[in-house]
Amino acid sequence: MIRRLTRGGAGATTLAAAPLATALLAALLATTALPAGAAPAPPAARPPSQIKVAGGETQPVFSRADAVTQVVSIETTADSDRDGIRDRVQMRIMRPKETDQGLRVPTILEPSPYWAGTHDIPLYPVDIDGAQTRKDRAVQRNLAEIFPGYYDNYFLPRGYAIANLDSIGTGGSTGCPTSGDRDEQAGTKAAVDWLNGRARGWAPDGSPVKAGWSTGKVGMIGQSYNGTLPNMAAASGVEGLEAIVPVAAISSWYDYYRANGGVVAPGGFQGEDLDILAKVVLTRRNPEVCKQVIDDITAVQDRETGDYSRIWAERDYVKDARNVKAAVMVVHGLNDWNVKVKNSVQWWNALKQAGVPRKLWLHQANHATPFRWRLEEWLRQTHHWFDHWLYGIDNGITKEPRVDVERAPGQWETARDWPVPGTRHVPLSLNAGSGAGQPGTLSLRPRPGPVQSLIDAGRTRTAEQLLVNEDQADPGRLAYLTPALKRAVRVNGIPKAAFRASLDGRSPYVTALLVDYGTDTRPTGARSDTGERVCYGQGVPGDDGCTTRQAHRTETAPYKIITRGWLDARNRHGASRSEPIRPGKMYDLRWDFEPTDYVVKPGHRLGVIVLSTDYDYTLRYPAGTELALKPGASKVWLPIAGGGREALG
């Protein structure tokens, strides 16, 4: 079944554009004679010379099939390959043909390091003494899995130019990929500058070219690295970047490859790091010129301590949120363990402090865009977002609820802010169980008890294997559980851990998992095609302007990891400074879990599982480290919405 998605409404208006095309057509008709006795031909359809607005949104009046395309090489302010010549970034543009007759339009831009493909690069071993428990695989990132293209079919007919930019060191650009530093930022900024007449550009034949068709207003959108580059550009404060939609995007590369002083991998890419990713996307001509640049990244990224240092500060955009002039629509999956939710939440919070106009979507998928399963609403909101900020259309998008949260597959709710107003951090103590044993209890009232210990087995057992059989003692973990909840509890925000604990052995890691125990059917984060084809835009040969709708995959299981958090105990006083650990000495350890928004149902139990090594994320030291924890003196602080505190009593 194929559905054609239609939009629009009554009350059409137009935004003025140059009338040159109409004048030329009128002159042509006035001077063309018909043969004697010939019947006049039906009037040809006139190409639009203005943007049409109806129902508060731009209408599809321009032809995707007749679009003009061009390629431009843009000079940046960076020299990342150190050859004494400023880097250039290549941008491919598609725009309504009327822009060649004087129509001026804004641009929706997707920058990416992936347009030219990727390379297979071996990952670092994470069993740090050299022994392998499984074969490290190579990285292959498939662009088609990162973001399906639809902007040309949908937005170009509505009066937008669409552009794809090769980030520095990739595709047709020069320079070297540097995994998020200021040189990459300069490359994306340069595209906005060229669209505003502030940077030089050249056509493939070497002739200078300017964007005379551009209004100078630019929007950016993209997922993963493609969404990170818009964050970078916005953090530069570049004039003309009016709105961005970063999906599952990085705001601080430290929080992609590190956590609280520890080397922590992005989910699915255990063993990847800044230098590996740079090699993966190094697709420019003559890539050998970038060897020293990437070797320098390898030398300073530090896979031993995970300390926050200058290399990470150069890749941290959160501290620059005050520079942002663009409105930001932040989008992230609550089941995304590749780019973890912290990257969007800390960006969201910093933008709020800076007074930046913003929206937030939190959904139930993993590293994905809602385009495929909430198509109609996704198009409505992103369309109105760009219409408002790039065309100045008063369509009410800024007056709608600021936050959309997918509570369960297909079940969305809105809020005016996030965490939802009324959320409070509630302390829950990790107490010993009956007879001072395991499993322990999780309750509002602390109950001091003797020290409890685990022996690290995370090198050979995954977190999922270590959290099962929660009602039994397990030497590889500590478990603390609430009674069955009498009412639902919503955890939304950033949970925090405050442990009194010691380590004796080689592993410096303390890992905590927040777990929903109770058999239920829950989304896994993955999606499946439904078979329903939905058409959203103008098609051309090879691109029908349609997509197959997806639905969330679910599984019935006795538990769900809600969120997790990691600490390298050497960084107990801050991520920037490592200090030795005295074996067996008790320390006060404080750190954050990854943000979440999750409802624990009545009848389920909430659990905190304590580990050392987390097989799929942390470095894996030899087994045998003893982690000891002081019950009663150790707590988690959960951000609980509404009256959920009483359910935890």
382-396: b (≥16 Cβ within 10 Å) or e: bbbbbbbbbbebebe
Two tokens, residue 64: 């995707």
Coil/strand/helix, residue 207: coil
Cα 77 from Cα 167, distance rounded (Å): 14
Q: What is the DSSP letter of 512?
A: E
CB distance 37 to 49 below 8 Å: no
Identify which of 457, 439, 446, 432 has the alpha carbon closest to the alpha carbon of residue 511: 457
CB distance 594 to 340 below 8 Å: yes
Coil/strand/helix, residue 50: coil
CB distance 413 to 422 below 8 Å: no
Question: Of the residues 80, 87, 332, 367, which is catalytic?
Answer: 367
Active site residue 388: no
Two tokens, residue 201: 């550009």
Identify which of 276, 631, 570 has the alpha carbon closest to the alpha carbon of residue 442: 631
Active site residue 336: yes
What is the separation of C-alpha 146 from the centre of its chain, rounded to a whole number of angstroms?
11
Cα 505 from Cα 292, distance rounded (Å): 37
Two tokens, residue 22: 């109409």
Question: Of the residues 224, 344, 502, 634, which is catalytic?
Answer: 224
Coil/strand/helix, residue 86: coil
Longest dimension (CA), the chain: 109
Let me know if 299 is exposed, middle or buried by CB neighbors in 10 A (0-12, 13-18, 19+).
exposed
Which helix (H) or strand (E) covers residue 626, if one does?
A: strand 626-629
Length of the chain in terms of residues written: 649
Q: What is the DSSP letter of 448?
A: -
Which helix (H) or strand (E) covers residue 607, if one does?
A: strand 605-611
Active site residue 516: no
Other residues' Cβ atoms within 10 Å of the Cβ of residue 117: 14
Cα 539 from Cα 14, distance rounded (Å): 24
Question: Of the residues 336, 404, 597, 614, which is catalytic?
Answer: 336
H helices of 105-218, where? 143-146, 151-154, 182-195
Other residues' Cβ atoms within 10 Å of the Cβ of residue 44: 9
Sheet of strand 13-15: strand arrangement: 13-15, 51-54, 57-58
H helices of 31-169, where? 143-146, 151-154
Residues annotated as catalytic are 224, 336, 367
